[in-house]
Amino acid sequence: MEPSALRKLLEQVRDGSVSPDDAVSRLRHMPFEDLGFAKVDHHRRLRAGMPEVIFSRGKTPEQVAKIFQSLAKHGGNVLATRADQSHFRAVKRLVRKAEYRESAQAVVLRHDCTIYGKGAIVIVSAGTSDIPIAEEALVTAEIMGNKVAHLYDVGVAGIHRLLSNHNVIDDARVVIVCAGMEGALPSVVGGLVRVPVIAVPTSIGYGASFNGLAALLGMLNSCASNVTVVNIDNGFGAGYVASMINRL
């Protein structure tokens, strides 16, 4: 049922050609979702600056490029995660202003550079191997309009490195912590700050890391009460929810 159909029905009510009772009856069987679409528009405003996102893995360069081009037309920021060089080249051919963030394996198009976040989002990571996931979180937070800072390679086995740089995390309004192996870093960071910590287990490790399961379980059992967890390697999700918190 089109909105125009709704208007037509109401005009018939005004005309008297349809009685209110009949209209009630028709409306009750009307697919309510069409009305719901208004809601979606309302949402769109709330979503200002939130990127349209493409998960590139498992898609061909051509597929990613076409979707990217199509999303770029909406005028907002566009983000393609898990994209390699070949994905980027294909996108670049269609969308000139697209850029490649190699460390994050992301293709980005930034139309809207407004800062929407009220404070800083700080991304912390345990080892150098965790950096790609951390960078995915960082790029996501940036493209969604946040000031971001990062503190990398501060694993818990060398706790002084983290403590020496605590001023970086002291300024955060939200902290994202990426760690593989035993996934202990969010607990330590959670104890040092008084803001929400979003923990991202990474699949870094071998043997009994079981592709990130060890880190995931560790983070879910964190003894720091300000820690919540996203899926293994989900840097994008962490950047997204951190941005949402930072706009509150």
Residue 238: closest CA among 113, 109, 125: 125
Residue nearer to a copy of itself on the CB measure, 105 or 209: 209
**Sites for a copy of itself among residues 224-243 (CB under 8 A):** 224-234, 236-237, 240-241
Residue 92: closest CA among 236, 82, 84, 59: 84
Q: Is 152 in the site for a copy of itself (CB under 8 A)?
A: no
Q: Record the tokens describing residue 66, joined without a space.
A: 């076409």
**Sites for a copy of itself among residues 173-232 (CB under 8 A):** 173-174, 180-184, 187-188, 190-192, 194-196, 198, 201, 203, 205-232
Among 123, 155, 169, 175, binds a copy of itself (CB under 8 A): 155
Q: Is 118 in the site for a copy of itself (CB under 8 A)?
A: yes
Q: How many CA atoms lie within 13 A of 169 on its CB side?
A: 28
Q: Is 136 in the site for a copy of itself (CB under 8 A)?
A: no
Distance CA 147, CA 16 (A): 58
Q: How far is the CB of 88 from a copy of itself (least distance, A)?
A: 19
Q: How far is the CB of 97 from a copy of itself (least distance, A)?
A: 24
Q: Is 97 in the site for a copy of itself (CB under 8 A)?
A: no
> Which window, 83-91, 97-105, 107-115, 119-127, contacts a copy of itself (CB under 8 A)?
119-127
Residue nearer to a copy of itself on the CB measure, 114 or 167: 167
Q: Is 102 in the site for a copy of itself (CB under 8 A)?
A: no
Q: How far is the CB of 5 from a copy of itself (least distance, A)?
A: 10
Q: How far is the CB of 96 from a copy of itself (least distance, A)?
A: 26
Among 83, 148, 156, 177, binds a copy of itself (CB under 8 A): 156
Q: Is 127 in the site for a copy of itself (CB under 8 A)?
A: yes
Q: Is 28 in the site for a copy of itself (CB under 8 A)?
A: yes
Residue nearer to a copy of itself on the CB measure, 98 or 184: 184
Q: Is 48 in the site for a copy of itself (CB under 8 A)?
A: no
| Burial profile 213-231: b = 16 or more Cβ within 10 angstroms, e = fewer | ebbbebbeebebebbebbe
